[in-house]
Amino acid sequence: MPAASPARPPVVVFATVRNEERDLAAAVAAVLAQDYAGPFLFALAVGPSDDATAQIAASIAASDPRVIVVENPTGLTPQGLNIAVRAGVEALPHAVYLVRTDGHAQLPSDYVRVAVDTLERTGADNVGGMMVPLGDGGVQEAVAFAMSHPIGLGGGRFHTGGAEGETETVYLGSFRRATFERLGGYDEHWTRAQDWELNLRLRTSGALVWFTPRMRVEYRPRGSFRALARQFYKTGQWRREVVRRYPRTASARYLAPPVAAVLVAVGLVLGVVGLVTGSVLVVGFVLPLGYLLGIHVAALVAGRALPGRALVLLPATLTTMHMAWGAGYLVGVRRR
């Protein structure tokens, strides 16, 4: 381990990856380029992959002692994160803080320093900032815009920005190790939404979750409607599980997509029946047509500064996000 200033507390940066051949080297390079003056290491749990992820990780670890690689045989996110944390604190037993990153995240060079400074300045137990989606091409640009605007993902500050302060949840997260271990880390039931669930347990226990816009992480969103629909379907499923486990967390922001999906589906069924039977039920088409009209108007107003192709694709992007989330929420998680 390279010598570092003893004035700064030791930090474990951790992540779990699977099938990240394209982005892993850049993500690790961003961690190793941190300007943090204290000792830190990067603990990386690697799940079973269909590409060269494991080989890339092993090569990086062999060339830099600050990187340790461990297996995540399940390939699941919460298990991998817990494995990485355990491996990290075993290698750096005096670590005070735990900073999460992701296999396709690009941490700015001051990320760890700002995280530690914010933890110490505010007394918070978990701090985090903004997920900044960046698009390349029409679909990605439309998705990036939708993910950072209230008409797409609602008003969460880690998506849309806002003033520094106490919050419900943050992107990724930088934790006090003592608090993280006291709560048992990530609940391995939560294949998705594990960060949200952990932040809920933090707040319920009296811990402080803190948002700062100074921590910004670039993120590459899905580049096709099929991948976007799959992502949001699963997100909706696990949001339903959150509400099932913690009913008081239900809110208009989370319930709007399933309500919209039901209204659109009911309207389509009634409209088709009305066409077939020649009855007044044909007015059911008002519901899906009204939704589509509203989406197009909202997209044109909110996205007017987007490049032409991204603006054209924005209504379809928003519809895919809303309907996939809503369908996933209505189906829920199949419990074993």
Over the stretch 30-85, which tens digit does the pLDDT of each residue have?
Answer: 999 999 999 999 999 999 988 889 999 999 999 999 999 999 999 999 999 999 99
Residue 333 — pLDDT band, cuts 50, 70, 90?
confident
Cα gap 18→41, rounded to integer Å = 20
Question: Taking 80 as the threshold, does the pLDDT of residue 312 lie above it?
Answer: yes
The Cα–Cα gap between 4 and 25 comes to 24
Between 158 and 297, residue with greater pLDDT = 297
Q: What is the mean pLDDT of residues 100-113?
A: 92
- Say how many residues make up the chain: 336
Contact indicator for 166, 209 with CB cutoff of 8 Å: yes
Residue 26 confidence (pLDDT) above 80: yes
Helices (H), the chain: 24-32, 53-63, 77-91, 111-122, 138-147, 150-153, 157-160, 177-182, 194-204, 225-245, 252-277, 286-302, 308-331
Measured between alpha carbons, how far is 147 from 125 in angstroms, rounded to an integer?
26
Is the pLDDT assigned to residue 1 strictly greater than 70?
no
**Structure confidence by residue, pLDDT tens digits, 316-332:** 999 999 999 999 999 98
- pLDDT tier for residue 6 given thresholds of 50, 70 and 90: low
How far is Cα 260 from Cα 68, in angstroms, rounded to an integer? 46
* Residue 194, Cβ density class (10 Å: 0-12 exposed, 13-18 middle, ≥19 buried): buried
Does 297 have pLDDT greater than 50? yes
Angle at 239 between CA 334 and CA 147, to 5 degrees: 130
- Position 3 pLDDT exceeds 50: no
What average pLDDT does this structure show over 196-205?
92
Burial group, residue 245, by CB count within 10 angstroms (0-12, 13-18, 19+): middle
Q: How far is CA 301 from CA 36, 80, 160, 295, in A?
A: 42, 42, 17, 10
Q: What average pLDDT does the segment 164-179 reach? A: 92
Asked if 147 and 222 count as a contact pair (C-beta separation under 8 A), the reply is no
pLDDT of residue 218: 81
